[in-house]
Amino acid sequence: MEMILSKNWNVPDQKKIDVAIKNGAYASLKKIFKMKREEVIEEVKNSGLRGRGGAGFATGLKWTFIPKENLSSGRQDKKPVYLINNLDESEPGTFKDRAIVEKDPHMMIEGMIIAAYAIGSHTAYIYIRGEYYKQWEIIEEALQEARKKGFLGKNILGSGFDLDIYQHRGAGAYICGEETALLSSLEGGRGYPRIKPPFPAIAGAWGCPTIVNNTETLANLPFILNEGAAAYKKFGTEKSPGTKLMSASGHINKPGVYEVEMGLPIRTFIEEHLGGVWKNHKLKAVVPGGSSFAPLTAEEAWATNLDFESCAAAGTSLGSGGFYVMDETTCMVRLLCFTSKFYAHESCGQCTPCREGTGWVDQVIKRIEKGHGRERDLQLLQDVCKNMMNGRTICVFADAAAMPVLGFLKKFGKEFEEHVKLGRCPHTVSLRGA
């Protein structure tokens, strides 16, 4: 099926602006400059687009949180408004924003122009993770091309609207994907999250109204403005309209980035798109939304669809679409060691429950995996995790670190008990399988 984001991914040289324009890039600009800002926001609201950065928050609604005096057309802006494209993409399992940049960067830039126009922003930043160096180069080139064509800069296409877009490179810190940590990092400091409220829409970068949107969210905008909200809503489910880019990895035959219609059954995704579980093995578990969420057992996975509601109902989240698959040979305790190592490494250290909790969890799980676990360790893990959740910390990183632990314990608790009882890992093969 002709999809929204990936439709030109196979076109040779789609990165070049002339090729992209031939395929419709920047067409929406003529249309939006004839609309009022409010009308653009209304269209996005009507499309039902929800943020693709992990939380699934309604995009159009978020934009309306910008203070009225900044939003209304025609009036003198009170404070500058900033738009930020969150291209930090560091959630283990997620590599879809990278695909957008590599295959069709102009779609992302066009989306940023639409968003900036809608919220009245004249300076926008792309916060790109430091490791994405090649991608940074691709974007630099694409921005230059767009400037030359008059899609960026002063008085874009004679509309009177000005916009500059700059890239800001991160330097290796997962937490900088969290929007307020991102702002701290953008301003030239440690990537420390800030207490909300105030939300960035009220007081974000340099204390000014700021909207942070994920790259994939922004890339959806050209379609919505070109084809209209109704056309967008034809894709997906009622509450999760559109498509989702899924980054698929782990024990499958065909890993990669796939654009799927929201609501696609996980079974269809694995069997038809991903070529099934590798080596003819059976499925053991799936994490559909990135490492911050609970796994689904095979049975649960077969009954779940790829949309926000269905994943939430199954006790996990569609998150950022970091979909990874574990086959029957996988040692879940060992796998969880890798997850807890990640969170212990990436905690920014500001809040005690998170800094200490992620460290403890990591140590205890390692101990169990090595066969030195004690019976009371399983309870200890639960207690530490519960103490990390539900608003005890500045940001929800701590919840993100605790959720997978609780999820793995709940669904594969037997394996943890077995490790403790045997005093060793009962598995003889590595995580790569036999």
Partner 1 sequence: MSFEFTKENLEKFEETLKRYPQKRAALLPALWLVQEQQGWISPESMETLAKLLGLTPAYIYETATFYTMYNMKPIGRHHIQVCNSVCCCLRGSEETVGYLKKKLEIEVGESTQDGRFHLSTVECLGSCGTAPMMQIDNDYHEDLTEEKIDQILEKLK
Ligand X SMILES: Cc1cc2nc3c(=O)[nH]c(=O)nc-3n(C[C@H](O)[C@H](O)[C@H](O)COP(=O)(O)O)c2cc1C
How would DSSP label each residue in 75-120?
A: SPPSS--EEEEEE---STT--HHHHHHHH-HHHHHHHHHHHHHHHT
Nearer to ligand X, 329 or 339 (CB): 339
Measured N-to-C along each axis, helices 96-103 and 133-148 cross at an angle, to the nearest 10 degrees, of 40
Decide if residue 359 touches ligand SF4 (CB under 6 A).
no
Minimum distance of partner 1 from residue 6's CB (angstroms):
14
User: Could you give the 3-state DSSP secondary structure of residue 259?
Assistant: strand
Q: Is the dihedral of CA 403, 329, 346, 101 positive or negative?
A: negative
Decide if residue 253 touches partner 1 (CB under 8 A).
no
The interface partner of residue 166, options being partner 1, ligand SF4, ligand X, none and the CB cut-off 5 to 8 Å by kind, is partner 1
Nearer to ligand X, 221 or 365 (CB): 221
Nearer to ligand X, 204 or 295 (CB): 204
Q: How remote is the C-alpha of 41 from its chain's centroid? A: 22
Nearer to ligand SF4, 127 or 235 (CB): 127
The interface partner of residue 169, options being ligand X, partner 1, ligand SF4, none and the CB cut-off 5 to 8 Å by kind, is partner 1
Torsions phi, psi of 87, nearest 5?
Answer: -115, 40
The Cα–Cα gap between 129 and 140 comes to 14
How would DSSP label each residue in 131-146?
A: T-HHHHHHHHHHHHHH
Task: Name which position in 134, 147, 154, 424 contacts partner 1 (CB under 8 A).
Answer: 134
Angle at the Cα of 387 from the Cα atoms of 383 and 389, rounded to 5 degrees: 120
309-338 residues near partner 1, rule: CB under 8 A: 322, 324-326, 330, 335, 338
Q: Which stretch binds ligand SF4 (CB under 6 A): 62-70, 223-231, 296-304, 351-359?
A: 351-359
Nearer to ligand X, 146 or 395 (CB): 395
Number of other CB atoms surrounding residue 79 within 10 Å:
13
Nearer to ligand SF4, 212 or 301 (CB): 212
Size of the site for partner 1 (CB under 8 A): 57
Q: What x-and-dash track marks residues 138-177 binding ligand SF4 by CB under 6 A?
A: -------------------------------------x--
**Residues of this chain that bind ligand X (CB under 6 A):** 51-55, 57, 86, 88-91, 175, 177-179, 212-214, 217, 395-397, 400
Q: HSE-up of 26 (CA within 13 Å, CB side)?
A: 21
Which residue, chain included where needed, has tokens 């084809």? 227
Cα dist from 175 to 91, 183, 291, 400, 401, whole Å: 9, 11, 14, 11, 12
DSSP H or E run through 125: strand 123-128
Minimum distance of partner 1 from residue 134's CB (angstroms):
7
- The residue at minimum Cβ distance from ligand SF4 is 354
Which residue, chain included where needed, has tokens 């509309």? 159
The interface partner of residue 350, options being partner 1, ligand X, ligand SF4, none and the CB cut-off 5 to 8 Å by kind, is ligand SF4
Task: Name which position in 190, 374, 421, 424 contacts partner 1 (CB under 8 A).
Answer: 190
According to DSSP, residue 270 is labeled I
The Cα–Cα gap between 220 and 215 comes to 9
User: Which residue ranges make up the site for partner 1 (CB under 8 A)?
Assistant: 80, 89-95, 97-98, 129-134, 164, 166, 168-174, 185-191, 206, 247-251, 255-257, 291, 322, 324-326, 330, 335, 338-339, 342, 345-346, 348, 430-432
User: Which residue ranges make up the site for ligand SF4 (CB under 6 A)?
Assistant: 175, 193, 347-351, 354-355, 393-395, 397-398
